[in-house]
Amino acid sequence: MAKTDVSRIGILTGGGDCPGLNAVIRAVAKTLMHEQGAEIVGFLDGYDGLVTDRTIPIEWETVSNILTQGGTILGTSNTANPFQWAEKQGDEIVTTDRSDQALAVLSKHRLDGLVVIGGDGSMTIAGELAKRGVSIVGVPKTIDNDVPGTERTFGFQSAVAVATDALDRLHTTASAHHRVMVAEVMGRYAGWLALHAGIAGGADVILIPEIPFDWNAVFEACLRRARKGKRFSIICVAEGARPEGGKMVVRRRVEGSPDPVRLGGIGRLVTGTIEQNTGIVSRATILGYVQRGGSPCPFDRVFATSLGYKAAQLVADGNWGRMASWQNGRLTDTGLEDVAGGSRTVPLDHPLLAVARSVGTSFGE
């Protein structure tokens, strides 16, 4: 890696946690310390720490032995946004622009650049800071696999492994009690997690946001198995799935958050509707935050480390305003402006949809 004038770099982790964050922090910090002799400053709790000036020095010892740890040693926040800083005043949530304060903090610490590790929301904020003149490099993170500009995000495969294990376990109890067992997985507005876990876990029905489902098609998929002597069915449903003509199920709203909508509850809606219309006893399991927790799988350890190395390369080359990414089978990078404000969903012609259909999996069509 070529020597540049980079001497002090900040790192923060934003948005929801996921396995592999520490692996990226480790790779970025160690690479820049080893190759550049750079000093690393960690901002605590994502953009919250950037605005409120809460930092820790990151030394070699700080990032040693954290590769296998889940979560993030820096902490994170999925509500802090310097451009829409939310504070409670009386009974109301008031938002203000605190971006000038964030810029002042960066200047105070004499940073040559900032590495932001996060999902589409964090990348959108990073893009706005870049427009304000901040030297930024992004690293895509999310178990939802929905960040534009990259075909893969770290944390996704670890979440798929957890969801698949849950589906495997639900198979045995579904078979024993002759029930329809529904596993609700995360994913927000994209069906990548449900699609991959559903195929890996042998789900009979997979419901994803990209394909609004027909209730009668779901009922028939369960009844058809019963007629063939299979007295149970497994359904993997994404939290953002919805019936034709219906809406996504919203669990609650978090006012002041960059994305205030919190999805959840479609699993229970599916089980109740199936039981009422088919007479088959149905139960729902909402995997929730367990999908985010625990140690990253081996794939994510390697992939997160690779993305961290790529981010360090971008920093060393002074290639700012870019996000490390994976496209066409190789590490590359893309502009933050191409990532901001979007969400990568499952294309309706994606090969995995055909793979699932070929073995009889229903998408409720």
DSSP 5: S
Q: Is 144 a catalytic residue?
A: yes
Provide the token pair at 205: 């029905």
Distance CA(100)–CA(308), nearest Å, equals 28
Distance CA(37)–CA(6), nearest Å, equals 9
Q: Among candidates 242, 240, 246, 266, which has minimal Cα distance to 188?
A: 240
Q: Among candidates 180, 273, 278, which has minimal Cα distance to 234?
A: 180
49 in Cβ contact with 55 (< 8 Å)? yes
Q: Which of 144, 146, 204, 300 is catalytic?
A: 144
Coil, helix or strand at residue 285 = strand
Coil, helix or strand at residue 323 = strand
What count of Cα atoms within 13 Å lies in the side-chain half-sphere of residue 17? 21
* Measured CA distances, 338 to 76, 321, 347 (Å): 24, 10, 18
Distance CA(22)–CA(38), nearest Å, equals 19
Say which residues have a Cβ less than 8 Å from residue 339's Cβ, sequence separation at least 6.
Answer: 120, 123, 124, 127, 138, 140, 147, 148, 149, 323
Which stretch of DSSP H or E encloses residue 160? helix 156-177
* Measured CA distances, 100 to 112, 132, 133, 145, 341 (Å): 17, 9, 12, 32, 21
Beta 39-43 vs 8-13: how paired, if at all?
A: parallel
Q: Among candidates 313, 307, 308, 310, which has minimal Cα distance to 35?
A: 313
Query: Which residues are known catalytic residues?
Result: 144
